[in-house]
A and B are shown apart, each in its own frame.
Chain A
Amino acid sequence: MVKIILKNPKESQDFGEKLGRILKGGDVISLTGDLGAGKTTITKAIGKGLEVEEYITSPTFALINQYEGRVRVYHFDVYRLEGVEDLYDLGFEDYFYSDGVTIVEWGDKIHGLLPEHTIHIQIEKGKELNERIVTISGQGERYSEIVEELRKS
């Protein structure tokens, strides 16, 4: 588990972009945090790092948006899915195990459906107004690689 403190929006932006530059096809990112913690902001920054040129907007209407960047990017917002996973197999596997990068906002709501190689990122508000505390956790080789890359400045 790795904890990073982002002091201001610029640092949050840089963190997201850097992570985006590290990510490659097959990676799955789960973002967790309260309303207003900045999940969509981080997602946009990750998208920039992945060279997505389109405007990234929260997929509230249809759960998933898809963008073309350096690799294909799938952007989920599963806020309203809590409990639905018990009713349906939602067919998300086709995305989670694809050649694209998948970013899942509110990933904790469908915890049981996320693959083992998911990188979990929790965002919390810090003491200062724009401060964010980011906790990264996961398992496997890819997780270690990503953390190592993030440490390089």
Chain B
Amino acid sequence: MKILAIDTSTVMATCAVLDEDNLLGEFSLNQNFGHSENLVPMVKTLLDNLSLKVSDIDLYGVAVGPGSFTGLRIGIATVKAFAHVYNKPIVGISTLEGLAFNLSHRGIIVPMIDARRNRVYTGIYKWENGYLNNIEEDTVMEIDQLLEHLGENYNNIMVNGNGINIHREKIKDKLGDKVEFAPNIHNTCRAASIGELALLKKDHGKLSNYFTLVPEYLRESQAQRDYKKKERDN
């Protein structure tokens, strides 16, 4: 079985091909170029070098968000079209889960993607019995609110994602020795992680199809809006 995975939720455009046993190839570009121009040519370069065609792909994995709305739509539209032409299934994977999957850490893993205006997209993940479990579901929140929550409830924390570059000092400040920063190479979205997660999840009823799959934009919850309003009014 061949899996093609794509993640364009952040500045990183990344695509990968895997089978059950191996990562066969991965192509990532961390440049502020339009993903819309480059994505299909990147996939073509990758597949050409593996002597594969789109028709050889059996399963698709795609990061469905949270992340840049435009980026998400480019990746998802592309994957849906591939899957549609050859009638193949898709597994949509949380961008944050993909980031957490980059890391092996015994405590909790907290990926953060910059959501601007001092907010991050984040969730809390933990490896248990060989599975990466979602402990607190993906959300968007103010960085201050997140750090307060982490400080009160957790100890052994590892963080990654582009949000930690922006808020590094603040995170150090608030969480001190409770937190470890992931090395840079594990800090960015990788299609290989999305692909392996797709493979793991396909047997657990997580299959989507090219008609129904949509991005997960993640709005702020009403509670967070209220929190923000309170902050503003103070």
Contacts and interface: CB of A to CB of B under 8 A. Distances in A.
A91 B69 CA distance: 6
Contacts of B204: none
Interface in A21-41: none
A115 B116 contact: yes
Nearest to A116: B117
B38 interface: no
A89 B217 contact: yes
Contact of A89 (B70, B219, B228): B219
Given A89-B217, A89-B219, A115 B69 contact: no
Contacts of A116: 117
B45 to A, nearest CB: 26
B68 interface: yes
B69 A94 contact: yes
B11 to A, nearest CB: 11
A53 interface: no
A97 interface: yes
B207 to A, nearest CB: 28
Chain A contact surface mostly:
loop
A116 B228 CA distance: 14
Nearest to B222: A86
A94 B70 contact: yes
Contacts of A93: 115-117
Of the listed residues A93, A97, A115, the one surrounded by the most CB atoms of chain B closer than 10 A to its CB is A93
Of the listed residues A88, A89, A116, the one surrounded by the most CB atoms of chain B closer than 10 A to its CB is A89
Interface in B31-87: 68-70
A65 B232 CA distance: 30
Contacts of A96: 116
Contacts of B217: 89
B68 A94 contact: yes
Interface string B202-223: 0000000000000001011000
A115 B70 CA distance: 19
A97 B116 contact: yes
Nearest to B225: A86
Contacts of B220: 89
B35 to A, nearest CB: 12
Interface string B103-123: 000000000000111000000
Contacts of A89: 69, 217, 219-220
A97 B166 CA distance: 14
A66 to B, nearest CB: 14
Given A97-B116, A115-B116, A115-B117, A91 B219 contact: no
Contacts of A91: 69-70
Nearest to A91: B69
Nearest to A93: B116
Nearest to B232: A112
Nearest to A96: B116
Nearest to B140: A89
A91 B68 CA distance: 8
Interface in A59-103: 88-89, 91, 93-94, 96-97
9 contacts: A89-B69, A89-B219, A91-B70, A93-B115, A94-B68, A94-B69, A94-B70, A96-B116, A112-B232
Given A88-B219, A93-B117, A115-B116, 16 more contacts: A89-B69, A89-B217, A89-B219, A89-B220, A91-B69, A91-B70, A93-B115, A93-B116, A94-B68, A94-B69, A94-B70, A96-B116, A97-B116, A112-B232, A115-B117, A116-B117
